[in-house]
Amino acid sequence: MNAACIPLVEMRDISIAFGGIHAVDRASIDLYEGEVMALVGHNGAGKSTLIKILSGACARDSGTIAIRGAEAIIANPRDARAYGIETIYQTLALADNVDAAANLFLGRELRTRWGTLDDIAMEAEARKVMGRLNPHFQRFKDPVKRLSGGQRQSVAIARAILFDANILIMDEPTAALGPQETAQVGELVRKLKAGGIGIFLISHDIHDVFDLADRICVMKNGRIVGTARVADVTKDEVLGMIILGKCPPAAVPGPGAVN
């Protein structure tokens, strides 16, 4: 988190409008290696949309994205993956009718030397990574729609960390989880951070954010209110940013800050 370093991700002046509504308006955000950047705000503040532009699920109207200082072209989810960007979506985007291993490797299947699917190798690999994340997980043959919310969550997370991602986007990763599983996710975030991965964490839970994040970026009505180090602001100040759009002195104000 050295300010002199080139940021891992730098999104500059990103805008996108849906039928005249500015879902994201001139938003700029950056992320460094080994850093957790929390993105908070009300429903409809534009957090998910901003992050979907980075993950290739949404096309922006204007603005630039740079990965490690070089301009990146991200037009679809495949492009984003090529830059080492992995996403865990709020909706846990899983293919419901295939099993955990098929989901982990969806789009990047292991193949035998004949070019056919190597299901056995994929299941063996899946057993390894799931064993680390969720040792109780045993239902490798079931389609994921039969799994519980927490189990589906572990599949979604395992998919993101299976392929050495540099940049991880977590959109409400604990929304479907009980307290114990939430703690596990927190543990995982710290582990990944220590490994040098940059993480965007979208969350409603201000306590989670203060526990896990290094910096915090608040959005309101599609605009960024301000960005601050977690150590420099209080929870009340952050709530003030979320609700009123009032930027405290310790934060760097954005276009959405009210004076």
- Residues engaged in binding other proteins (CB under 8 A): 55, 57, 76-78, 81, 87, 89, 91, 93-98, 102-103, 106-109, 111, 115-117, 120-121, 123-124, 138-143, 145-146, 159
In the bound state with other proteins, the residue whose beta carbon lies nearer, of 19 and 107, is 107
In the bound state with other proteins, the residue whose beta carbon lies nearer, of 16 and 217, is 16
User: What is the Cα–Cα distance from 193 to 100, expressed in whole angstroms?
Assistant: 25
In the bound state with other proteins, the residue whose beta carbon lies nearer, of 102 and 189, is 102
Beta strands in the chain (DSSP E): 9-18, 21-31, 36-40, 62-67, 70-71, 85-88, 167-171, 198-202, 215-220, 223-229, 252-253
In the bound state with other proteins, the residue whose beta carbon lies nearer, of 140 and 210, is 140
Least distance CB 255 / other proteins (angstroms)? 29
DSSP 2-36: -TTSPPSEEEEEEEEEETTEEEEEEEEEEE-TT-E
In the bound state with other proteins, the residue whose beta carbon lies nearer, of 58 and 66, is 58
Query: Cβ distance 62 to 14 under 8 Å?
Result: yes
Least distance CB 196 / other proteins (angstroms)? 23
> Amino acid identity of 54?
L
The phi, psi pair for 21, rounded to 5°, reads -95, 125
Query: Cβ distance 133 to 125 under 8 Å?
Result: no
Determine how many CB atoms are found less than 10 A away from the CB of residue 248: 18
Least distance CB 132 / other proteins (angstroms)? 18
Least distance CB 120 / other proteins (angstroms)? 5
Least distance CB 184 / other proteins (angstroms)? 20
In the bound state with other proteins, the residue whose beta carbon lies nearer, of 77 and 186, is 77
> Amino acid identity of 155?
V
Least distance CB 170 / other proteins (angstroms)? 14
Half-sphere CA count of 9, side-chain side, radius 13 A: 30
